[in-house]
Amino acid sequence: MSLPLKTVELPRGIVITIMEMPGMTNRASVRSDLRECCAFCGDTDCHFDCDESQNDEDEIVYDYDGEEVLNETEEEVIERLKWNAAIDGLEFLILTSAESGIDVASKIFRRAVINALQKIDNYYS
């Protein structure tokens, strides 16, 4: 007998998969495309780590799709990393909520996620 997997889609493309464990803490995983990536290597944590991102700031360079882009400034990289860290925090809260049995599909939980994302948007842009 395999345990039932439940998938819940939240606003802004956040998807939670929950494995309900009778008598135990649930297991869950969360994914989304909300994190911003380095245009060159696609890594969300890149801080001028890849060769291509080490060009001068504001120099026109080519991303991995061959499109012209301006290289990120130090400030933009820091903003990207802060945004991504805020998304990590939100996703951890969603994950632990699902694992502890909170109804993450409920209207009130969805509203809380939308409100949190709005606050993150306002704070980091």
Task: Give the interface with Zn ion as residue ranges (CB under 5 A).
Answer: 38, 40-41, 46, 50, 53
Compare residues 41 and 85 and give the one whose CB is closer to Zn ion.
41
- Candidates 120, 100, 76, 115; CA nearest to 16 is 100
Angle of helix 74-99 relative to helix 107-123, nearest 10 degrees, comes to 160
Contacts of 107 (CB under 8 A, 6+ apart): none
- Residue 107, helix vs strand vs coil: helix
- Residue 23, helix vs strand vs coil: coil
Cα–chain center distance at 74: 21
Pair of tokens at residue 53 = 């991102």
What minimum distance in Å lies between the beta carbon of 46 and Zn ion? 3
Compare residues 82 and 119 and give the one whose CB is closer to Zn ion.
82
What minimum distance in Å lies between the beta carbon of 99 and Zn ion? 32
Compare residues 68 and 108 and give the one whose CB is closer to Zn ion.
68
What minimum distance in Å lies between the beta carbon of 47 and Zn ion? 8
Phi first, then psi, for residue 96 (nearest 5°) are: -70, -30
What minimum distance in Å lies between the beta carbon of 113 and Zn ion? 29
Compare residues 69 and 116 and give the one whose CB is closer to Zn ion.
69
